[in-house]
Structure formats: structure tokens, C-alpha cells
Chains A and B, each alone.
Chain A
Amino acid sequence: GRAGRGGEKVEEEEEEGWHKLYPGHIPTSPLQKALLAAGSAVMALYDPYRHDMVAVLGETTSCLALPNLRDKMKNHPEGYHILQERPRIRLSTLDIARLQGLPDGSLGREYVRFLEDNKVSPDTRMPPKFVDDEELAYVIQRYREVHDLLHTLLGMPTNMLGEVVVKWFEAVQTGLPMCVLGAVFGPVRLSTRKLQVLATELVPWAIRSGLNASCVLNIYYEQRWEQPVESLREELGIFPPP
């Protein structure tokens, strides 16, 4: 049914008579999804600045992996909590000043440091459009918003190398085809020296950690800003970064 989220959109939904499940939802047929997947894959490779295409590719290929992910969350007490409350990580909801004031090594402090060092913001994540289930749309949104936190937990920067490492970790953890594609095709643009480091140290570590760790989407990060990163790593089962 239609959640009353984004009240101003409800009238439009009524008017259009589509089966929009959430604001921004564009219902698509299987053929359209296939075409979108192919088209967005090509466009994402052709023009790497088209981040929207990466997002679309993710949405159109994740129909099998997302329900699995959602079930993992449902069957875990903290994950279930997250699905109920649907927290969002946005600049408007984060108290940056408070997080900055936290001790070094804590999740909150390191996360803000990560945002500043790499000059990124949590608000640049695209909302989902082509996921045909409202709860799954939230799951993929949560995954996108948690991505930066994963960078922090894994200690990886946002350059090409760091992104590929995080993708390997995410691929093992979530099974999302987009992560697998990113993990496999991402390295093509790296130099041989970096590829070596990647292959010998970083990827094996990422895989081992990903397999060993419990589901990263089952952590209510917003309630754990004070927790030291090291302790959270241990709790999850992520091995210390090389």
C-alpha cells in the first residue's frame, strides 16, 4: 500500500493512477528492467561520471539479492529494529558538531573525519526508483547510506583502489550483482602496481573479512557513534586492515 511518506506526492500518485509504492518509484516491466540494466551498464562504463547509471544498474539487477538481504535483517534483532524505524543517514539528521566532539577512534569521530578527508557527503546517495517493493527500496537505500560507514570501518579511502576493496567486501556480504560487477570490473582502470597490492593483500583480506563478518546492515549505526571503531570491527568480525 501507499505509505504516507512525502505527503505532497500523494496527490500526484492519485492522479497518475500508476501503482507507485513510494515517492520516486517508477514501475517497470521485466523487459524495461532488462533494457535498463543493459543500457545503464554500457553508459556507466562509457561515462564514469554518470553515478545515476551505477545506481540504476544496482536497482535493476538486485531483485534476487535484496529479498535475501531483507530477510537477514528481519531475522536479526537489531536489523529488525532498523526495518521498523527506517533511519536515514543524512546531513540534516546527523549532529556533525557532536560527532566531531567524540573521542578519536570512535565511530562518530572517524566517520566525520572520513567525510571531511574525502570531501564527500551522505546526501549524494540516489534514492531508488526501479525497485518494485517499498521495503526492499528501503533496504537498498540503507545499503547506499551505510557504504560510507563501511569505508570508515574498513579504513579505505574513496579513490579507485579503496572503492574496489569496499566493493569486494560488499559483494561477499550482500551478494548484490552490482557489487560483484564493481569488484570484478573496477580494477581494470588501475595501474599494475596497485593491482598487485590489490590482488595479494587487500582483496583476500576483504573477502576473508566479508565472509567472517556478520551482516553489516544489521548494525544500528546511529546508536553506536560513541563505540570505538576497533571494538565495532571485532564485534562484526572484520579483520584489522593491512
Chain B
Amino acid sequence: CRCRALLSRPAGRLRARRDLAAGPDMHFGFQTVTEEERRKKIYQVFESVAKKYDVMNDSMTLGIHRLWKDILMHKMNPSPGTLLLDVAGGTGDIAFRFINYVSSVRERQLQRKLKHHQNLSWQEIFESYQKDKFNSLGDSQVVVCDINREMLKVGKQKAQHLGYSEGLSWVLGNAEELPFDNDKFDVCTIAFGIRNVTRIDLALQEAYRVLKPGGRFLCLEFSHVSNPLLSRLYDLYSFQVIPVLGEVIAGDWKSYQYLVESIRRFPPQEELKAMLEDAGFFKVDYENLNFGIVAIHSGFKL
């Protein structure tokens, strides 16, 4: 069941300001807004881009985002029976990859069993008659959680279109306040989502909370390029080309301007690593992809 854990919000987080009414100042891309405004604006961005989200991802990254997500899945290396929570999972890219991955692992498992069927114990033979023979996922499950209804809608439609149904569920929820019990999931991922969370520290704490002991947190996100030449080329591409792509393909300049600005404002690799450690994760590490354009951060709950 997914009852909410009672979280006491740390009240001392609000910085002392002259006017507390509107809440602390935050960034929305390069603008300065209040926390509430930021949440609202980000919701509106994703509401507006949802239908063209996948097309835009392919255009902006020239399809490379698919490789990044594949690498994330390989790093996760889930075995059948894994329970995955994909936060800000919107259109389902990670969820579908997860299902494909465990299906193929499961298939190989079953093939190996069949080959050496003489080595099966009586218990195993008994069980194989009990279980659904086509337990193709091996009881693996993925829950896709997203705050935005439009993104979830697109994700569900995609799932239907591509034929994914087993082991998949869709939940409307906020990364800062996940609607799940403690100690529930084996793996928790957030791919290109944490950048849009208003309180990253809360999202990390929540991820920690819902993971089982021994569980792993994986974050795939745009990060900082340290190589100066590459950084300039990357900036040029980001600021000159991406909003134009947004206008031409999605008819929406402003959302993609926000995207490139939010990438610049996001904490760099070491800082995010420290934030993971603050949330309680152990063995926190990160791996740069494409010179730091993207990074995968990983941490364990012990």
C-alpha cells in the first residue's frame, strides 16, 4: 500500500528575509522567483512540452539521450524480481528500458534452466508448475511517478502503443513528498528530473526513505563541462540552437530557454555528490558521460 509517511518538514529551512510572505527566492532558469512560483512555472513548462517531449529530446541531443539512458540501465544491471521506482519518469523512457532489460535477463535465466533441467531441485520443478509459465519479468516491477498529469498521460499512451503493460504502474506524485511507504524499493532512479525539483534536498531525503536497506539511488542529469573549449561550444549550441529548435519543432521558445538556463544553474558533480551524502547515502560516486555534459550519480542506503 502506498500510505504517506509522516514527514515533519524542517521548519528552519526558510532563510530569514525581509518579506517572508512570498517564501525564499529561487531560480527559474536565470529569473529570480519565489518557491511557489517556481513550482508553478515548471509545471506549466512540462504541461506545454509533454506532447513533443520525445521529439525534442531526439532533436536536441541528436538521439544521444537514448544512449545515456541505456548506459544508466546497464549501470543499474537489475535482476529479475527488482522493484524500481522511477521518479519524474514522465514519458516512461527508463521504465520501458527496465522492462526490456529484466525481460532479456529473465529469458536467459529460463533458457539456462531448461538446458540444465536435470539440475533442478524438486522444489524448483514444483514451483515452475505453480507459477505462470510466462513469468517473463520474473516479478520485476516498475512504478513511474511524476508530478505532471500531461507527462503521465503521454507515458501511458506510449506504453499502450508499444505494448507494455505487465509490471508497470503509473502514479501521480511529487518527488519532494513521495506517496510511498518507507523501505519499499530496490532501486530509485531520477533521469533528467531532479533539475526541475524545487527542493532537491527533500527529493534526495525522500528517495532515501522509500529505498530498502541495500537499495540504490541513481540520478542521471545534465552536469558541468570542465573542459574550457568544449564548454564554450556546448554553451554556444545550448543557447543559440536549442531555443530555436524549441520554437521550430514545438512552437515553444520559452520552455527550451528555461531548459538550457536550468542546466547552467544546477549544482555541479561534486556538489551534487555532497548533497547525496547529506541525505544519508553511502558509497556516493559519479560517472561523467560525454565530458560532463551528463553525469550519473549513484548512492546506497545501508
Contact = CB atoms under 8 A, between A and B. Distances in A.
A36 interface: yes
Interface string A2-44: 0000000000000111000000001001011001100110110
Contact of B253 (A15, A26, A43, A53): A26
Contact of B240 (A15, A31, A53): A31
Contacts of A39: 244-245, 247-248
A42 B244 CA distance: 13
B25 to A, nearest CB: 11
A35 B256 CA distance: 15
B240 A35 contact: yes
B177 to A, nearest CB: 28
B241 interface: yes
Contacts of B30: 16-17
Nearest to A39: B248
Which DSSP category, helix, strand, loop or mixed, fits chain B's interface? helix
Nearest to A15: B31
Which DSSP category, helix, strand, loop or mixed, fits chain A's interface? helix
A56 B248 CA distance: 9
A56 B240 contact: no
How many interface residues does chain B have, given as a range? 10 to 19
How many interface residues does chain A have, given as a range? 10 to 19
A32 B248 contact: no
Nearest to B254: A26
B33 interface: yes
Contact of A35 (B31, B32, B244, B249): B244
B251 A129 contact: no
A16 B247 CA distance: 19
A32 B59 CA distance: 16
A56 B247 contact: yes
B33 A43 contact: no
Given A15-B32, A15-B33, A43 B249 contact: yes
B226 to A, nearest CB: 25
Contacts of A31: 240
Interface in A45-60: 50, 52-53, 56
Interface of A: 15-17, 26, 29, 31-32, 35-36, 39-40, 42-43, 50, 52-53, 56, 129
